[in-house]
Amino acid sequence: MGKVIPLGGRDTGPEAVAAAAAAAGEVAASARRTSRDQRARTSAEAAEREAAAAEGPEWERKLAGGLAFLRRRITGEYEVDDFGFDPDLAEHVLMPPLRPLYEKWFRVETRGLENVPDTGGALLVANHSGTIPLDAVMTTLALHDHHPAQRHLRMLGADLVFTLPLVAPLARKAGNTLACNPDAERLLSSGELVGVWPEGFKGIGKPFRERYKLQRFGRGGFVSAALRTGVPIIPCSIVGAEEIYPIVGNAKALSRLLGLPYAPITPFFPLLGPVGLIPLPSKWIIEFGEPIETAPLGAAAADDPMLVFNLTDQIRETIQSTLYTLLMQRRSIFF
């Protein structure tokens, strides 16, 4: 299953089903009358996709897929996992509008995808920047579209994300959960790929003059979660996200008033109003580094603070040096 290639350049919403669940209408009719087993239906649809791949014009298949998708949503016949992750929605509604951003606007280049394992739990640790967590979203797209196993990245988000209305349910449905040890360990031990951005708000809200300088990595809770579950840690460096909204100031009073960690001021926002909300089209490079195996260290190592600190530092150094290397290789900010 490859990338969605929009017909006529337009690619929105449920229409943009990658494989259009090709003859989903056909399969759905029979599946509707059998048991409620969702897995049987989706595997039947997948098999049907291959069979009907070359039949009928593309738009017809997409329409069929889109209508099938709408029907599934309206009747509630989709599955969510314990965390509220809705892969149906994520793939067909949440990801497609972000693909043009990924491919045309930021022209994201990925390197080192082979360092991310095809199966099994792994912890991805990355630098955070860009005022809003677009870097996290782009990393998710990179792994879903360009990794051979099309892995879903489950991200650990700050408390704030889950208290905001509208944002909170979307975050859960996209597969993300609260950044806390129990959830991280649960996801890792069930073989999921978990992404964590330890710099947190300090990283994402840092002023432009401090770009690409990694902030403190917290207490290393994510490292102890990885140690306890014995999964590899993959350092990830994201270049290009710093320049999308260069923060030149912070309206502290306003941020306190709204209860936000920062109220950013960029050269274009709020000066140019809504136009200032458009991110600058910097060229992005996401590099996945060599995994650090934690299984040889043993689960008891999670309780050794020195070891946890050392490992956290090691990861931080790796990401920082990779960032500098990539910055030197980068031709310019926008190309």
Partner 1 sequence: MPPRVVLVTGVSRYLGSRLAGVLQADPSIERVVGVDTVPPRPELKALLGRTTFVRADIRNPLIAKVIAQNAVDTVVHMNVIATPLGAGGRTAMKEINVIGTMQLLAACQKAPSMRKLVVKSTTAVYGSSPRDPALFPESFEPRSLPKSGYAKDAVEVEGYVRGFGRRRPDVELSLLRFTNFIGPEIDTPLTRYFSLPVVPTVLGFDPRIQLCHEADGIEVLRRATLESHPGIFNVGGPGVLLLSQALRRLGRPSFPVPSPAVTLVAGLFRRAGLVDFSPEQMRYLSHGRVADVHRLQASFGWVPRPTGEAFADFAASRPGARVLSPEAAALVEERLLHLLVGRRPTDLDRESSSPEPAGAPRA
Residue ranges that bind partner 1, judged by CB under 8 A:
23, 25-30, 32-34, 36, 43-45, 47-48, 51-52, 55-56, 60, 63-64, 67-68, 70-71, 73-84, 86, 159, 162-166, 168-169, 172-173, 177-178, 180, 182-183, 186
By beta-carbon proximity to partner 1, the closer residue of 55 and 293 is 55
Query: In whole angstroms, how close is the CB of 15 to partner 1 at the nearest point?
Result: 12
In the complex, the smallest distance separating the C-beta of residue 65 from partner 1, rounded to whole angstroms, is 10
Asked, as a colleague might, if the bond just before 270 is cis with ω within 30 of 0, I would say yes
Which residue lies nearer to partner 1 by CB, 22 or 265?
22
Give 167 or 277: the residue with its C-beta nearer to partner 1: 167
CB of 297 to partner 1, least distance (A): 25
**Contacts of residue 102, Cβ cutoff 8 Å, sequence gap at least 6:** 108, 138, 141, 142, 145
Our CB check for partner 1 shows the closer of 73 and 152 to be: 73
Work out how close the CB of 299 gets to partner 1 at its nearest, in angstroms, rounded to a whole number.
18
Contact 296, 181 (CB under 8 A): no
For the bound state, the minimum distance from the C-beta of residue 305 to partner 1, rounded and expressed in Å, comes to 23
Q: How many CB atoms lie within 10 A of CB 197?
A: 27
Q: Which two tokens stand for residue 324?
A: 């500098």
Contacts of 319 (CB under 8 A, 6+ apart): 125, 126, 127, 214, 235, 236, 237, 289
Place of tokens 């990830």: 236
Task: Report the C-alpha gap between 215 and 206 in whole angstroms.
Answer: 9
Query: Which CB sits closer to partner 1, 99 or 154?
Result: 154
Q: In what order do the strands lie in the sheet with 109-111?
A: 109-111, 285-288, 233-239, 122-126, 193-196, 153-157, 177-178
CB of 219 to partner 1, least distance (A): 17
User: How near is the Cβ of 165 to partner 1 at its closest, in Å?
Assistant: 2
Nearer to partner 1, 45 or 287 (CB): 45
User: Measured from the CB atom, is 69 or 197 closer to partner 1?
Assistant: 69
- Decide: 239 and 326 in contact? Cβ < 8 Å: yes
